[in-house]
Structure 1
Amino acid sequence: MREIEGIEKVVAYLQPHMADIEARFHAENESYINLMNRPHDIIGRLLKYHLVVEHYLERFLAEHYGIENIRAAKLGFFNKVELLPSRASSAAFVKPGILKLNSLRNQVGHNLGADISFDDLGPINGVLDVARPGVGFQAPIEAIEAFTTVACTWLIVPPKELHKRPVRRMPSTLCV
């Protein structure tokens, strides 16, 4: 074994502190193990929902604004969401929830100890109150999953030929 010059002096200096050093090591090791053992299912699901919404977000922006290659603009998720209309559009309805989804993804993505509660969902809850009235969710991640479905649906731009179709009135016999 190769010796390191002066190591004996370092070991002798540290010897009276070894109990504290070992205690600190064990505390840090336990903290590390706890972080590594945190369930990653929620992190993975949240990231997946975020990526799926981003896919539909890019499609919406490309179709709505006629942008041929939205990815070439190298916009971040937040910037893409900011390009969504804020009123008079189906996308405007889900925009606040998409912004919240992004902040939750950032919260979990930068802090392994982060937990998400129903109170943290904010505008996501508002969208679900309208789009999924009366549905109870067992966990916040389930509500986020349901929101993802709603958001993606509302971000779909109908084909141009459907834009020009005349709106027909419902026959009066069907009206209540």
Structure 2
Amino acid sequence: MPKLPPRVGVVNDKNFLGFVPHKDVDFNFIGYLLACHLVIEHYLDEFLLSRAPDLMWEKPRLTFAQKADLFPHAMFPNGDEVIAGIRHINALRNKLAHKLETKPEEFEYLPFTRFLEKSNCESVPTTPLELLEAFVNTLSAYFMGWLASDAYRTRWRQNMQQAES
């Protein structure tokens, strides 16, 4: 199992700084959660770019939370559950950033469960990793559908404009 450097502890009565080793870090869970977060951020980036391709998206270097705030969730079926799940995965990532030893069972997953229920998922998983997998795959399918449809509509418009010329 890989080891991490210790985190900063407290200063003792002799003014020596103590360090606290990381124990029981679930690298599998952390890695999967971070990968899910990155996948969702990728789709958020692509979606926002598709909605406003003329904006200079590279320069502002928006945070995940800022991108989520720009996401027009009201235009989607179950949009409230979509944005709640997007914001929740960011909250989980932020919590892990401050306490790496947090166990998957210590987190709340209700926004993911609600999203999957509203998305008519046949059976909503109950274990953290399976729930994350179902959430990120279903949400990614939403984004893929939108992006594919938008690409088709854009191409269709371009073809119509060329035909009219």
The TM-score normalised by the length of structure 1 is 0.65
**Residues 137, 143 of structure 1: 8 Å contact kept:** yes
List per-residue Cα deviations over 1:120-162 (Å, max 9, x = no partner).
Answer: 1122111111225341425112111211111122223223444
- What SS class does the counterpart of residue 73 from structure 1 fall into? coil
Structure 1: state its 5+ residue gaps.
1-20, 22-27, 166-176
Instruction: Give the aligned length.
Output: 136
Q: CA deviation at 1:109?
A: 1.9
Contact 1:91 1:155 in 2 (8 A): no
Residue 135 of structure 2 is aligned to residue 144 of structure 1: no
TM-score, with length taken from structure 2: 0.69
Which residue of 36, 43, 66 corresponds with 1:79? Answer: 66
Displacement of 1:90:
5.1
Quote how far apart the aligned CAs of 1:68 are: 5.2
| Structure 2 unmatched ranges of 5 or more | 1-13, 157-165
Q: Which residue of 2 aligns with 1:95?
A: 83
Cα distance between partner residues in 2 of 1:90 and 1:104: 24
- Which residue in 1 is equivalent to 2:111? 123
Aligned-pair identity in percent equals 25
Q: Residue 33 of structure 2 contacts residue 93 of structure 2 at CA under 8 Å; is this kept in 1?
A: yes
Cα distance in 1 for residues equivalent to 2:101 and 2:78 = 32
For residues 106 and 122 of structure 2, what CA distance do their matches in structure 1 show? Answer: 15
Asked whether the 8 Å contact 1:42–1:141 carries over to 2, the reply is yes
Deviation digits for residues 63-86 of structure 1 (CA, Å, limit 9, x no counterpart)? 012245423221000000000013
CA spacing shift, 1:154–1:135, aligned 2, 3 Å? same
- 1:1-176 mapped onto 2 (5 Å cutoff): 32=21, 35-67=22-54, 69-89=56-76, 92=79, 93-117=81-105, 120-156=108-144, 157=147, 158-162=149-153
Does the CA contact (< 8 Å) of 2:24 and 2:101 recur in 1? no
For residues 77 and 69 of structure 2, what CA distance do their matches in structure 1 show?
15
Query: Structure 2 CA distance, aligned partners of 1:66 and 1:145?
Result: 30
* Displacement of 1:43: 0.4
The AA in structure 2 aligned to 1:65 is A
1:76 corresponds to which letter in structure 2? T
